[in-house]
Amino acid sequence: MSHDLDLDRRGFLAASLAIPSFARAAGRRRVRTGLDIVVEGRRDPFKGKRVGLLVHAASLTADGRHAIDALTACGISVVKLFGAEHGFRGLAAAGESVDDRMDVTSGLPVISLYGKKVKPAPEDLEGLDMFMVDMQDAGVRFYTFASTVMHCLDACAEALLPMLVLDRPNPLGGQRMEGPVSAPERDVPRSLVNMTPGPLVHGLTMAEIAGVVNASRERKAQLGAVRLTGWSRGMSWADTGLTWVNPSPNLRSAHACLAYPGTCLLEGTTATEGRGTDAPFLKVGAPWLKSAEMARAVRVPGFTCEPTTFTPRSSTAAPTPKHLNVVCQGLDIRVSDDRKAQPYRLGVTLLVEMKRRHPEFGWLRDGSGLDRLVGTRSLRVAIDRGDPADAILASDASAIENFRTSRASSLLY
């Protein structure tokens, strides 16, 4: 295998993938992704290399071509595909086991890393010269794509196979950090939803996550990154000028993504997070919810809540949503200011107020569902104890600041 990539002091790919001046001048977009930079720029570092590619539904160029097609068209030899949750074409529902074997469009073999297998086996990487990643993350730990990349990073380190991450923006920005860090594994078992380091909302791009993880490993991978251009940590998604492409079937807008770290917490409760509606994660509720009362009580920076009524229906994106075909009283959640929004505060406030006002409210699986989702029992214990939202949020502050310091050496922007 060839290992001649030019790496900088952080272990990331250095100037060998700089954008040529003609590509920079031609682009009018404010932010350019790693995929577009590779496709539009020089391909010399990939000449003669056999590439394995981890991609999903949002792995598109600015002109709408999937990474598989765009990379192949520009002369890069993609020989094997890898898929995460929802499948590499993004058609499977949340939690649905994926058993892809062959991409009928490209004719390439596919290795599924969601279901029976979560980490590439040594034989899956045989014959490859590079493992390339192009995955749009959602900026929150329980979104499983980053955990899949972590498993791939470890597999590449073991196989002495270089990994290259084609970076994309964190849709929540690079400054927002909220929520708890995961508790030790002896307290909450590790899974794809609670592996990523740092607080629940971590403020890292996918390449930066890989860098933080790689730095912590005894056996390090040869890790490269094609960095974004034009992106800064304070940007909202709207600031990037990029088109939103659903990275999973139920995450259908940048505003839904912004609410997601909070409203998805309802997955662990008897209330619904809005799957089976036209606006998952922006509609929440239950048949028993006191919607008008909740709308008055849930006041969180950057969001507004209005009473609404909805009925969850079965669909390919949500085959069996909670409260299927039952009329729910709920909240229509809207983003009023994407810079001031505090999504985890929104979620904690929803849980606190639902628990306080509704005897019908409860935890699924005796609370283990929420514990697994957030990586710790502390949130559920605090809510059951009657702690106010402000106190719960304050308890995370020290760990967040520690991570802000420890992540600094791995930041690319």
Among candidates 272, 320, 289, which has minimal Cα distance to 94?
Answer: 320
CB of 345 within 8 A of CB of 392?
no
State mean pLDDT over 157-164: 98
Please report the pLDDT score of residue 25 as a whole number.
Answer: 36
pLDDT tens string 198-241: 999 999 999 999 999 999 999 999 999 999 999 999 999 999 99
Element (H, E) at 372: helix 368-374
335 phi/psi in degrees, rounded to 5: -85, 120
Q: Pick from 193, 222, 249: which residue ends a domain?
A: 249
Q: Is the pLDDT of residue 164 over 90?
A: yes
Buried b (16+ CB within 10 A) or exposed e, 257-286: bbbbbbbbbbbbbbbbbbbbbebbbbbbbb
Residues 65 and 141 in one domain: yes
Residues paired with 78 in a beta bridge = 51
Among candidates 135, 130, 133, which has minimal Cα distance to 162?
Answer: 130
Residues 165 and 270 in one domain: no
334 part of a folded domain: yes
Above pLDDT 90, what percent of the chain? 83
CB atoms under 10 Å from CB of 350, counted, come to 26
Residues 236 and 307 in one domain: no
Among candidates 361, 197, 311, 333, which has minimal Cα distance to 262?
Answer: 333
Please report the pLDDT score of residue 274 as a whole number.
Answer: 98
Residues paired with 304 in a beta bridge = 334
The count of structural domains within the chain is 2
Measured between alpha carbons, how far is 376 from 373 in angstroms, rounded to an integer?
8
The burial class, CB within 10 Å (0-12 / 13-18 / 19+), for 371 is buried
Residues 372 and 245 in one domain: no
Amino acid identity for residue 108 in this structure: L
Residues 120 and 220 in one domain: yes
E strand map for 246-400: 283-286, 303-310, 328-335
pLDDT tens string 268-321: 999 999 999 999 999 999 999 999 999 999 999 999 999 999 999 999 899 999
Amino acid identity for residue 338 in this structure: D
Residue 244 is given by DSSP the state P
Q: Pick from 196, 221, 249: which residue ends a domain?
A: 249
Q: DSSP 3-state assignment of 384?
A: helix
Residues 214 and 290 in one domain: no
pLDDT tens string 34-67: 999 999 886 667 888 999 999 999 999 999 999 9
193 part of a folded domain: no
Residues 210 and 235 in one domain: yes
Measured between alpha carbons, how far is 302 from 333 in angstroms, rounded to an integer?
10
Please report the pLDDT score of residue 322 as a whole number.
Answer: 97
Q: Is the pLDDT of residue 9 over 90?
A: no
Q: What is the CATH number of the domain that holds 272?
A: 3.90.1150.140
State mean pLDDT over 73-95: 77
The CA-to-CA distance between both ends of the chain, in Å, stands at 31
How many Cα neighbours within 13 Å face the side chain of 379?
35
Residues 60 and 158 in one domain: yes
Please report the pLDDT score of residue 12 as a whole number.
Answer: 54
Element (H, E) at 401: helix 397-406
Measured between alpha carbons, how far is 67 from 34 in angstroms, rounded to an integer?
11
Residues 244 and 265 in one domain: no
180 part of a folded domain: no
408 part of a folded domain: no
382 part of a folded domain: yes
pTM of the entire predicted model: 0.91
Q: DSSP 3-state assignment of 352?
A: helix
Residues 209 and 282 in one domain: no
Measured between alpha carbons, how far is 22 from 41 in angstroms, rounded to an integer?
9
Q: What is the CATH number of the domain that holds 103?
A: 3.40.50.12170
Alpha helices in 4-99 (DSSP H): 21-26, 34-40, 67-73
Q: Pick from 185, 217, 249: which residue ends a domain?
A: 249
Above pLDDT 70, what percent of the chain? 89
305 part of a folded domain: yes
Structure tokens at 271: 């209330």
200 part of a folded domain: no
8 part of a folded domain: no
Q: Which domain holds residue 92?
A: 15-170+205-249
Please report the pLDDT score of residue 43 as a whole number.
Answer: 63
Is the torsion defined by CA of 271, 246, 178, 341 positive or negative? negative
Residues 216 and 260 in one domain: no
Residues 231 and 98 in one domain: yes
